[in-house]
Structure 1
Amino acid sequence: MRDLEDIFEAGLAESEAGRPVAMALVAGVEGSAYRHAGARMLVRSGGAAEGAVSGGCLENELVRAGAGVAATGEAQLMTYDMRTDEDAFWGSGSGCAGLVRVLVHRPEPEILRGVLDELRAGRTVCLATVVDPGKSGIPAGSQAFGTPSGGGEEGPMGEKAAGYPALADLWNVLPWPEDGRRAVYGRVETPSGDMAVLVERLTPAPVILILGAGHDAPAMADLARTAGFRVLVADHRPGYAAASRFPSADHVFAVAPEKAPDSLFTPNTYVVVMTHQLEWDARWLKRLLVADVPYIGLLGPRDRARRLLAQFSDWTGSPLPPAEKWEHRLYNPVGLDLGGEGPGPVALSAVAQIAAVANGRDPQHLSARWGALQVGAP
C-alpha cells in the first residue's frame, strides 16, 4: 500500500496548493490485466503523472483525460477492451486479454487527508467510490470512507445521498473475495435506484525496521522503499543514524535499544537486526523477542547467532525468553537463497523474504505455479 499512500500524499499536496488533480482509478477488470481494481494514477494539472494503471498502454490517453477532469471536476468512466488478438485499436499489443474500466475523477482533499490519517494511525480503511451513479443521483467519483467496523467518518458521498446505506452496511453488501484481493466492484441499491460502487480495503503499508545503520543499511532501506514498505532506521550511534545517509527512509532514529519507543514494534513491523556487533544485536533482541513483531531477521551466519543466543544473558543481563515465544519469528540467516554477495544482493534476498512472510507466501518460481496470479495473501 506504500504506492497508494505516496499518490494520496502527492494529490493532497497539490490540492492544498490550489492546483486541482485527477485520479485515474481501475474500477473493474474482466480477464487478465497488468493491474487490478484499486490501482491508481495521479494526474497533475500540468499533465505530469504519478503511478500507473497498466503496463504503459493506457497512461497517455488517461493523462489527457485527467487534465480535463482536473479542470472541470466532471468524472469520466473509460472502458478499454483488449481481449482481441489484434489489439489494433489501442495499438499497444499488450496481450493482456482483458477488459479494464478506469474511472477518472477529481478527489476531494478531505477524503485524501482522512484516508491518510487513518492509515498513518495504523488503521484499516474502507473506501467506497461511486463508479456508475445509475439513477442514484450521486455523482460518479463521489467517495466515502470509514473503518471496516463502521466507525470513522463519511465523506461527500454520505452527505449527498439521503438514505444511503451506512458505510458498515456497504462493507457487507458486496460479496468480499476470499483470494486476497483488496477491492470489489458491484452494484448496490439506493432509494433512487442502484449504482455501481468500488469498495476497497486499504491497509497501512507494512514497515521494515532496520536496526543498525552501517555501510550496508542504505541498500536495504532503498530496496525496502522500492518494494512498497515504509522504512525506519535506528542506530545507537548518532553519526551513523543520519537522515542524509538514508534519503529513502521515512524516519531515522539515533537511539539505544533500551530507549527505543514501544511504538516501533508493532504487528505490522518486520525487523532486520544488522548492527554487526554482538552486544548491540543482543540488546536489540532483548526488546524484539518479547515484542509483537511477526519477523525478526538476524543478519549473519548460524554460528554467530548460536553464540549470541548462548551468551544472551552476558550481553543483556537478562535470561533468554522461552523459545516458544520467538523461535518461529526469528529468521537466521536472513533472506532467500538467491545467490550473490554484497549489500545489494543481501538486501534483495532479505526484502524478498520479508515480502513473502508479509503476504503469507511460500516463495517459488511463478513459472511453476498454476492458476491466476493473486494480489496479497492467498
Structure 2
Amino acid sequence: MTHEFRNLITIAHLWQKQGHKVVMATVVAREGSSYRRPGVRMLVNESGEMMGAVSGGCVEKEVLRQSQSVFKEGKPKMMAYDGRYRLGCEGVLYVLLEPIAISEVIYGQLQPYFQERIPFACHSYFFKQEGEAEGMGSVLVLKGKKHPLYDAFSEKTATKTEIFSQEFSPIFQLYIFGAEHDAVELCKMGYLLGWDVYVVATPDEEKTIHYFEGATALWTPHFDALDVSRIDAQTAVVLMSHSFHKDVQYLMALRDVQPAYFGLLGPKHRRERLFSEFLDRYPDTPFNFFEQLKGPAGIDIGAESASEIAVSIVAEILSTIRKTLPQSLQHKTGNIHD
C-alpha cells in the first residue's frame, strides 16, 4: 500500500497548492467481509474530485457525501458504512474522514523515505461511534517523531480512542534484466501494480526509456559496472534477456543479492545450463542461492503471448511475496483474505 499512500500525499499536496481543501478517508476497522481491508485510503477535495478508492465502488459516493460536513465544520468524523443493508459486501466499514494539511515541511521530509526506501508508520485515532468527536485524527511517524495530518489534532485529547496503526514498507520494486518485447509487457504490468520498475539492458541494445511504458529508470551499464546495491527484500528480479551469455553475466553480478523473488525466463534445460556455467566460475556458491531461483518463471496459466507471460510472472511474484499457494478462489475454504 506504500505506493498508494505516496500517490495520495502527492495529490493532496498538489490540490492544496491549487487552493483546494482536502479530506482524507481511511478505513480504520471493519466487521465482516469487505472488498478492501483496513488501511486503504482515498481523497476528496471541495470541488468533488476524488482520488483513490476504499472499496470496489459502492462506498465512494457516501464518502463524497459525508465529506461535505467535514469541509464545512473543519473537524474529523466517523462514517460507518453497513453493506448488509446496501448493494455491497456483507460487512461494516468504519471510515475516518478528516481534513488534512500536507505542509511543505512534511511533504519534504517524506520524500527521502520513499526515495531511500526507509520504513515509516501512520497512526489513526478514532471512535467507532458515528459523527464528530474530539480526539480523532491521523499522524505520520517518521523516525519516532509524530507529524499530525490534521492541524488541530492533539494526542492529549485522544486518550480514550482506538488506534489503527499501519507500517509502510519500502515500495515494492521490479528489476527486469532484458529489453525485448516481453520485458516491455512485464514492465507495463509492474507499473500498473504500483511497483517501481527498473529495466537493465546492455549498451548495444540501443533502447530508450520511452520504449518501456511505466519504467522508473532504464540503465545500460556494462556487466562489470552493474550496481545491484538497491536490490533488497522488497524487490523482484527477473532475468529475460533472451541471450544465454548475458543471463550468465547478470547471474554472476547478482550472486550476492537476496530479493523477494528471483525468476529466470526460459525452459528447465536452459536453467540447468545457466547453473552449470555459473558453477564453473563460482564453484563454492551455497546451495540456497540456487534454491531461491524460480525457473521457468511464472505460474502455469497456459500463457502464450508476451502479455500473458507477463501476467503469469506477476502472478508468481505476488504469490511468492504474499506466501500463498495459487489456486482458484472457488476451491478455497474460509475468507478470501485469510
CA 1:266 to 1:238, structure 2 compared with 1: closer, same or farther past 3 Å?
farther
- 2:47 & 2:211 partners in 1: Cα distance? 32
Question: How does the TM-score come out when normalised to structure 2?
Answer: 0.87
Which of 310, 314, 317 does residue 351 from structure 1 map onto?
314
CA 1:373 to 1:192, structure 2 compared with 1: closer, same or farther past 3 Å?
closer
Counterpart residue type for residue 101 of structure 1: Y
CA 1:249 to 1:98, structure 2 compared with 1: closer, same or farther past 3 Å?
same
**Matched residue count:** 332
Counterpart residue type for residue 318 of structure 2: A
Please say if residues 129 and 141 of structure 1, whose CA atoms lie closer than 8 Å, have aligned partners that are also in contact. Answer: yes
Counterpart residue type for residue 309 of structure 2: V
Correspondences of 1:193-272 after superposition (within 5 Å): 193-237=159-203, 240-272=206-238
Aligned to 2:27: 26
Counterpart residue type for residue 131 of structure 1: F
Structure 1, residues 217-248: CA drift from partner, whole Å, max 9, x if none?
Answer: 11101111223422111111375542211231
Please say if residues 178 and 200 of structure 2, whose CA atoms lie closer than 8 Å, have aligned partners that are also in contact. Answer: yes
Aligned to 2:146: 154
Cα drift, residue 369 of structure 1: 1.5
Which of 268, 276, 301 does residue 310 from structure 1 map onto?
276
CA 1:321 to 1:243, structure 2 compared with 1: closer, same or farther past 3 Å?
farther
Cα drift, residue 71 of structure 1: 6.6
Is 2:7 the partner of 1:14? no
Please say if residues 176 and 198 of structure 2, whose CA atoms lie closer than 8 Å, have aligned partners that are also in contact. Answer: yes
Cα drift, residue 355 of structure 1: 0.7
Unaligned runs of 5+ in 2: none
Which of 121, 127, 132 does residue 127 from structure 2 map onto?
132
Aligned to 1:121: 116
Cα drift, residue 116 of structure 1: 5.1
Please say if residues 41 and 54 of structure 2, whose CA atoms lie closer than 8 Å, have aligned partners that are also in contact. Answer: yes
Please say if residues 133 and 139 of structure 1, whose CA atoms lie closer than 8 Å, have aligned partners that are also in contact. Answer: no
Is 2:289 the partner of 1:329? no
- 2:315 & 2:118 partners in 1: Cα distance? 25
Q: Structure 1 vs Structure 2: percent identity of aligned residues?
A: 27
Q: Secondary structure of 1:145's match?
A: strand
Pairwise CA RMSD: 2.8
Is 2:331 the partner of 1:368? yes
Please say if residues 213 and 240 of structure 1, whose CA atoms lie closer than 8 Å, have aligned partners that are also in contact. Answer: no
CA 1:221 to 1:294, structure 2 compared with 1: closer, same or farther past 3 Å?
same
Is 2:74 the partner of 1:108? no
Cα drift, residue 45 of structure 1: 4.1
Structure 1, residues 122-165: CA drift from partner, whole Å, max 9, x if none?
Answer: 2322211222399xx9643242414xxxx432113899788x5x
Q: Secondary structure of 2:256's match?
A: coil
- 1:72 & 1:108 partners in 2: Cα distance? 15
CA 1:365 to 1:321, structure 2 compared with 1: closer, same or farther past 3 Å?
farther
Moved more, 332-341 or 217-226: 217-226
Aligned to 1:175: none
CA 1:193 to 1:139, structure 2 compared with 1: closer, same or farther past 3 Å?
closer
Q: Secondary structure of 2:236's match?
A: strand
CA 1:248 to 1:192, structure 2 compared with 1: closer, same or farther past 3 Å?
closer
Structure 1, residues 183-215: CA drift from partner, whole Å, max 9, x if none?
Answer: xxxxxxx68841232211222222111111211
- 2:161 & 2:215 partners in 1: Cα distance? 42
Which of 137, 145, 165 does residue 141 from structure 2 map onto?
145
Question: How does the TM-score come out when normalised to structure 1?
Answer: 0.78
Which of 237, 240, 243 does residue 277 from structure 1 map onto?
243
Correspondences of 1:159-178 after superposition (within 5 Å): 164=155
Structure 1, residues 252-311: CA drift from partner, whole Å, max 9, x if none?
Answer: 222233212233321211100111111111111012222122322111111112222223
Is 2:303 the partner of 1:340? yes
Aligned to 1:57: 58
- 1:54 & 1:192 partners in 2: Cα distance? 27
